[in-house]
């Protein structure tokens, strides 16, 4: 039977598992604390295939039976684990982007002109769009109607940080197409998507970051 709160490792994933004679052994208990046991189960489920995930759960139930609405709760912790790692990655990518942009501006004699940097507004949208409070429920599942839109939005984030501006325009176009064709309910997520896409489009155009191909992709939407 599940004990709701107990000591957990808070970081059980492939990078924190070593094997001794085919037996997995957890390491690195730097985040060890008091929490829900299902959070520790969510980490190992991120990387495996769906079939392997079932094997992990079946293996756990050999030791301790899972009862009640554990599937729903486990899904919530699974998404939480993914978002926590995505937020950490976004902070890292932002730092790397700023360093890369500073070097580019310095070499081109552009100083620290904020017109050439990603605006604070766009960075705020990037963070908001990937919070648990805003993301649609089950939106990260492949069979969700939101999945293609979420994928397109997050592609724009990664491509913008990498400086692949024409490809950003491509996924702006795809995101708009999803919004137009699916006719989503006007949730906070959809509203933020519209605002983010408008701000991102203006940023690309105002800073003349697109080739003629990228400009044509944006014109297709207009």
What count of Cα atoms within 13 Å lies in the side-chain half-sphere of residue 75? Answer: 9
Mean pLDDT value of segment 30-37: 73
In the chain, where does the domain assigned CATH 3.90.1200.10 lie? 1-112
Residue 216 CA, distance from chain mean position: 28
The structure tokens listed for 107 are 């070499």
35: left (phi over 0), alpha (psi -120 to 50) or beta: beta
Give the pTM.
0.51
The CATH fold of domain 1-112: Aminoglycoside 3'-phosphotransferase; Chain: A, domain 2 (3.90.1200)
Mean pLDDT value of segment 91-99: 53
pLDDT number for residue 201: 93
Angstrom distance (rounded) from CA 184 to CA 194: 12
- Which of 192 and 163 is assigned the larger pLDDT? 192
pLDDT number for residue 113: 41
* Pairing of β 33-36 and β 5-8: antiparallel
By residue count, the chain amounts to: 222
Confidence category of residue 169, pLDDT binned at 50, 70, 90: very high
* Pairing of β 17-20 and β 33-36: unpaired
Mean pLDDT value of segment 118-144: 84
Q: How many of the other CB atoms lie within 10 Å of CB of 186?
A: 9
| 118 and 93 Cβ atoms separated by less than 8 Å | no
Locate tokens 């604070």: which residue?
A: 120
């Amino acid at each position: 039977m599940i004990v709701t709160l107990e000591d957990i490792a808070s970081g059980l994933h492939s990078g924190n598992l070593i094997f001794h004679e085919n037996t997995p052994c957890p390491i690195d208990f730097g985040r060890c604390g008091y929490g829900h046991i299902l959070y520790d189960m969510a980490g190992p489920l991120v990387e495996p295939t769906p079939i392997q995930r079932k094997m992990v759960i079946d293996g756990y139930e050999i030791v301790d039976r899972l009862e009640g609405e554990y599937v729903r709760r486990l899904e919530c912790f699974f998404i939480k684990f993914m978002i926590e790692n995505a937020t950490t990655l976004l902070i890292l990518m932002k730092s790397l982007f700023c360093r890369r942009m500073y070097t580019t501006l310095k070499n081109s004699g552009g100083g620290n002109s904020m017109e050439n940097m990603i605006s604070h507004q766009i960075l705020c949208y990037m963070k908001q769009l990937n919070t648990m409070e805003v993301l649609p429920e089950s939106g990260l599942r492949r069979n969700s109607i939101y999945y293609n839109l979420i994928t397109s939005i997050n592609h724009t984030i990664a491509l913008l940080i990498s400086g692949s501006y024409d490809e950003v325009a491509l996924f702006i176009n795809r995101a708009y197409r999803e919004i137009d064709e699916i006719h989503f309910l006007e949730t906070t997520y959809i509203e933020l998507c519209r605002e983010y896409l408008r701000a991102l489009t203006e940023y690309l155009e105002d800073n003349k970051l697109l080739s003629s191909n990228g400009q044509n992709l944006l014109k297709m939407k207009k």
